[in-house]
Structure 1
Amino acid sequence: MSYAGPRSDALPEALLSDIDTSGYYPALVSDVVATALGDDTVVSHLVHAETTFDSETVRRHVTVLVLAPHRLVVVHADDHAPSADTPAEHLGAVATATSETIPLGRVRGVMLAHVVSAPEDYRPGSLGREITLKLGWGTVAAIDIMPAQCADPQCEADHGYEGTIGDDDITLRITGEVDGDDTLEQAKQFAAVLSRALGQPTR
């Protein structure tokens, strides 16, 4: 007997509408989100679709972030065109959808970078037309290493290396021109709601 999982029509209408608007296999993405979320409550959500071009191939990707009372659910969906070096070549195009659940206590922070063009003409409250949203919980770590330097510009000694470690598991770039003003505002709101949730005491 196969496991059917929760029905996607149990998801909030606004979330289903945003997944449908993304245009990327909405029935599949909705089912994966519903299965990962179970009977938990949706506090806030963000759906971000992205299209990239690789040589002659158009690749689509959608990320769904769902904030529940005590966890963050992340769903990624991609499509893969068949190629000679993939075992699934005979299957034709393949879509993969992956879900991840992170307890809120493990989310290390929310970084929201605002890009403002013509800052001399900035209007208070507008916060620009482009943002970069970064979330980290330690699954992915990146190390940037560079030669260490001292304060003496004439020094030629080897001071070894220095670097920084970043744990940005998700980075989303959202612009009003590409994604639309509604998605841009929703991303800001999602970041604010998630930031407040991280500031609450854990139970």
Structure 2
Amino acid sequence: MNANRYEDFISELNELDDGDAPVARDVAAALKSDPEILAYFVRPQTLFDSDSVYESVTCYAVTDSSLHVISSDVSYEFAPEGELLTSVRTLPLSMLRDVQLLRRRSLQGPHAGELSAIGVHAVWGGSWLIDSFPAGCEDPSCTLDHGSMAHAVAEDLDVFVDTSLDAAVFSKGAEFILRLHEILVGAGR
């Protein structure tokens, strides 16, 4: 039997914002019907754009039946004063397949043999990402309508951490990736 990590997960989210992180409320709402967390990873990031710096967080939570990917960051697209946008994607574990685990280790130097990066990749193929764009030709003066082109890519999951991150974040990320891989290949179910 696995211990439920839900309270630890919500507590870690609340620590990001002095005990009242809006993302924690959004996550609690998303997990209301499936609150038993087997494994989780909270990945805070500082993002930079042309004129501002803001905090973003991506969370992964694994339950008996699903993987929840929660992304929360500040957007200025719809409100000039900014607003917090949180999206929750829920993927049934049964849809995740072709699971690959990558470990990267240093070959030389004082850290030879040590883990320098780890990642897990899985395909779920439940939908496709389609980018469409106007077709064109090489002639810059051409005014003809060349129609549209599209590029379709199967959706997949990548969780990757390396030692450029804070040591605690790297350690927690590596632990989560190994646990997620174990769950996805069936050893953890």
Please indicate, yes or no, whether the TM-score normalized by the shorter chain is above 0.5. yes
Distance of aligned partners of 1:200 and 1:112 in 2 relative to their CA distance in 1, 3 Å threshold: closer
- Once residues 136 and 99 of structure 1 are traced to their aligned partners in structure 2, the CA distance between those partners, rounded to angstroms, is 18
Match of 1:196 in 2: 182
Q: 2:10 aligns with which of 10, 13, 16?
A: 16
Greater helix fraction, Structure 1 or Structure 2: 1
Instruction: Specify the code of the residue in structure 2 equivalent to 1:98.
Output: S
Distance of aligned partners of 1:26 and 1:184 in 2 relative to their CA distance in 1, 3 Å threshold: farther
- Once residues 72 and 185 of structure 1 are traced to their aligned partners in structure 2, the CA distance between those partners, rounded to angstroms, is 20
Superposition deviation, residue 99 in structure 1: 0.9
Distance of aligned partners of 1:27 and 1:69 in 2 relative to their CA distance in 1, 3 Å threshold: same
- Once residues 19 and 37 of structure 2 are traced to their aligned partners in structure 1, the CA distance between those partners, rounded to angstroms, is 21
Distance of aligned partners of 1:103 and 1:59 in 2 relative to their CA distance in 1, 3 Å threshold: same
Match of 2:118 in 1: 131
Secondary structure at the counterpart of residue 69 of structure 2: strand
TM-score, reference length from structure 1: 0.64
Q: 2:26 aligns with which of 32, 51, 60?
A: 32
- Once residues 177 and 67 of structure 2 are traced to their aligned partners in structure 1, the CA distance between those partners, rounded to angstroms, is 12
- Once residues 167 and 131 of structure 1 are traced to their aligned partners in structure 2, the CA distance between those partners, rounded to angstroms, is 20
Match of 1:99 in 2: 88
Alignment of 1:21-170 (within 5 A): 21-23=15-17, 27-40=21-34, 41-81=36-76, 86-89=77-80, 92-117=81-106, 119-121=107-109, 123-124=112-113, 126-128=114-116, 130-138=117-125, 139=127, 141=129, 167-169=155-157
Instruction: Specify the code of the residue in structure 1 equivalent to 2:38.
Output: V
- Once residues 153 and 43 of structure 2 are traced to their aligned partners in structure 1, the CA distance between those partners, rounded to angstroms, is 26
Number of aligned positions between the proteins: 163
Greater strand fraction, Structure 1 or Structure 2: 2
Secondary structure at the counterpart of residue 156 of structure 2: coil
Q: Structure 2 unaligned runs (5+)? A: 132-151
Contact kept, 8 Å, 1:64 with 1:75, in 2: the verdict is yes
Distance of aligned partners of 1:28 and 1:140 in 2 relative to their CA distance in 1, 3 Å threshold: farther
Contact kept, 8 Å, 1:110 with 1:191, in 2: the verdict is no
TM-score, reference length from structure 2: 0.68
CA RMSD in angstroms, aligned pairs only:
3.4
Secondary structure at the counterpart of residue 72 of structure 1: strand
Secondary structure at the counterpart of residue 89 of structure 2: strand
